[in-house]
Amino acid sequence: MNTQTLSRNAPAMTIEASDIRARRSSLLHDIASVAGRALRAVPKDLEAVIPPVLIAFFFFIVNVATLKPLTEGNVAGIDYTAFQMATAILLGVTGVSRAPAVVLDVQNGYMDRLLLTPIRRTAILVGHMVADMAVAAGLTVPIVLLGFGLGVRFESGPLGIVVFVLIASCWSLAFSGFGYAIALKTGNPAAVQSSFLLFFPFLFMTSSYVPRSQLTGWLDTVAGLNPVTYILDGLRSLTLQGWQWDELAQTALAIGVVAAISMTLCFTALRKRVANG
């Protein structure tokens, strides 16, 4: 018996196309892959991250220059530069996300191709959000350095700086959910860009420029209901007072409430996009 005879007698082996499957990776690997792609795109899209920092610089410097003498002259014991840095931070990190990139993925068909792969659907959003937190942390650093240059000091010490950056990043993530919800729902870049406008009323109807004790009437009532008030209070406590656990707990609760709403909206929009795709 030779090899040709064995070849003729061997059973035929056929592989159906349906038997071929891509090996499913872990959730962490999926998230890391999406986050890595999002972060690699940041240097190519600097116009999305540089303007927020410049806006934060502008308002920080102008507000301190114009309002510091008036505020410190009427409110005893306040360091208005440190007080204003929290407002500058929120201006710098709010609305900064990769949601516009998700819109492009929807428009050019990349999202549809991605949904054909075995990647976990939740990793698509979570990966982008991990990248958003990294970008927000990076944007916080130059604003904090400007604050140091203007004389701001952290009463909570070096660890307080880390918590300060973490709070800013978590708030940026909580707010970014609204942008992702709009991106997945509409696929319209203009609609996503306008999502930042949702933040402006919340910022100005709060203690963004003067302490809450100086607010009166309906503005004081609205500020008390505004979650941004408690985020500002938490950030300011780290610079002005040190470790104020009650204020930090209120900050965490405020971020959690906003995140619960925004994440529900964006993951619902993702499920609908997957179902329709």
Please give the pLDDT value at position 248.
95
- Give pTM, 2 decimals: 0.83
Structure tokens at 267: 């993951």
Q: What is the mean pLDDT of each run of 10 residues along the chain (277 residues)?
A: 49 49 70 87 82 90 88 79 92 85 82 79 87 91 93 92 95 90 82 74 82 84 90 93 92 95 91 75
Please give the pLDDT value at position 69.
84
Please give the pLDDT value at position 86.
92
User: What is the spatial distance between Cα 230 and Cα 237, in angstroms, rounded to a whole number?
Assistant: 10
Residue 227 is which amino acid?
P
Q: How many Cβ atoms from other residues are within 10 Å of residue 5's Cβ?
A: 9
CB-based contacts of 121: which residues, under 8 Å, 6+ apart? 115, 270, 271, 274
Among 163, 173, 189, smallest CA distance to 127 is for: 173
CB-based contacts of 188: which residues, under 8 Å, 6+ apart? 103, 182
Q: Are 107 and 273 in contact (CB under 8 A)?
A: no
User: What is the spatial distance between Cα 165 and Cα 76, in angstroms, rounded to a whole number?
Assistant: 28
Alpha helices of 75-226 — where are they, by DSSP H? 80-93, 99-107, 110-115, 121-149, 157-186, 189-193, 199-204, 217-225
Q: Are 124 and 34 in contact (CB under 8 A)?
A: yes
Sign for the pseudo-dihedral over CA of 200, 135, 269, 253: negative
Structure tokens at 3: 């090899």
Please give the pLDDT value at position 207.
84
User: What is the spatial distance between Cα 191 and Cα 187, in angstroms, rounded to a whole number?
Assistant: 8
Please give the pLDDT value at position 277.
58
Among 128, 98, 130, 120, smallest CA distance to 274 is for: 120
Among 180, 179, 172, smallest CA distance to 231 is for: 172
Q: How many Cβ atoms from other residues are within 10 Å of residue 91's Cβ?
A: 22
Q: What angle do CA 202, 245, 159 make, to 5 degrees?
A: 95
Among 127, 84, 230, 123, smallest CA distance to 171 is for: 230
- The HSE-up count of residue 136 (CA atoms within 13 Å, CB side) is 30
User: What is the spatial distance between Cα 124 and Cα 111, in angstroms, rounded to a whole number?
Assistant: 9
Please give the pLDDT value at position 146.
93
